[in-house]
Amino acid sequence: MLESLLNLDRSLFFLINQGTRNPVFDLLMPVISEWKYFWLPLFGLLIIFGLRGSRRTRWALVALLVVFAMGDSLTTHVLKPFFDRPRPFSSLYDIHIYKGHWTTTSSYFTHKTLSFPSAHAVNVAGAAAVIIRYFPRWWPLPVVLAVLVFYSRVYLGLHYPSDVAAGLVLGLICAGVFFGIERVLVKKFPNRFTWLVREEGA
C-alpha cells in the first residue's frame, strides 16, 4: 500500500515537473515561490496595513505571525528531521530543478535538504486560512496564490506532491489552533473582544 502511494506520488511529480513544463511557467514559478521576490514585499504591505488599519487588521497580523511561528517550528525542528525525506532532486535523476537557474539533475547532483512537509505550503495555507477568516470577501486572492505556490514547489523540483499536501493540512491545523485560542479568549474576556465580533472586514 505504501509503495503504491509513493509510486503515485512520483508519477504526479513527474507529470507536473516535466509534463507541464513551458517557457511561461519557467519564468513565473520562480517568482511565485521565492520569498524575496514575492512574499517579503507582500508581508511588508501587510505590516503597513496592520499598523495603519483597524483592530481587526492588526489582530489578523498577529494571527499570521503566530501561525507562521507554529508552522515553521513544527516543520523545521520536528517533522522534517523525523521523516528525514530527501528532496526529489536528491533522489531522482533527469528532473528539472530551479536553484537560481534551471538545470537538470544527474547522478552527480547532491544537495542534502529535507522535503516533508513543505514549509512553503504550511505557511501559505496558514496565511490563506487567516485571511479568509478575517476578510472573507478577499477569499479568491489567498486561494489562487496558495494554489500557485503549491504547484510551483513541485514544478521547481523542490517537493513531491505529498509534501505539499501535508504542508496544506499542517498549515490549516496551525490556523485552526489559533482560532481555537481566539474563541477561548473571546469567551473569557468578552468585553475586550467585542470589536472582533462586530467589525466587518477592513
Per-residue pLDDT tens over the stretch 144-165 = 999 999 999 999 999 999 999 9
pLDDT for the residue numbered 153: 95
CA distances from 1 to 53, 161, 166 (A): 51, 17, 18
pLDDT for the residue numbered 152: 95
From first to last of its 202 residues, the chain has per-residue pLDDT tens of: 778 888 899 999 999 999 899 999 999 999 888 766 656 666 666 667 666 667 888 888 889 999 999 999 999 999 999 999 999 988 888 888 887 778 887 765 566 789 999 999 999 999 999 999 988 998 998 999 999 999 999 999 999 999 999 999 999 999 999 999 999 988 888 877 777 765 544 4
Q: Give the E-state strand segments of 39-159 in sequence order.
A: 96-98, 102-104
Cα Rg of the chain, angstroms = 19
pLDDT for the residue numbered 200: 43
Nearest to 116 by CA among 146, 72, 160: 160
pLDDT for the residue numbered 130: 94
Burial (CB count <10 Å: 0-12, 13-18, 19+), residue 14: middle
Determine the Cα–Cα distance for residues 157 and 102; give it in Å rounded to an integer: 10
pLDDT for the residue numbered 201: 40
pLDDT for the residue numbered 101: 79
Determine the Cα–Cα distance for residues 202 and 103; give it in Å rounded to an integer: 44
Q: Which residue has the cell 501559505?
A: 124
Distance of CA 18 to the CA centre of its chain: 22
Output the pTM of the full model: 0.86
Bridge partners, 96 (sequence order): 104
pLDDT for the residue numbered 177: 97
Q: Give the E-state strand segments of 60-162 in sequence order.
A: 96-98, 102-104
Burial (CB count <10 Å: 0-12, 13-18, 19+), residue 9: middle
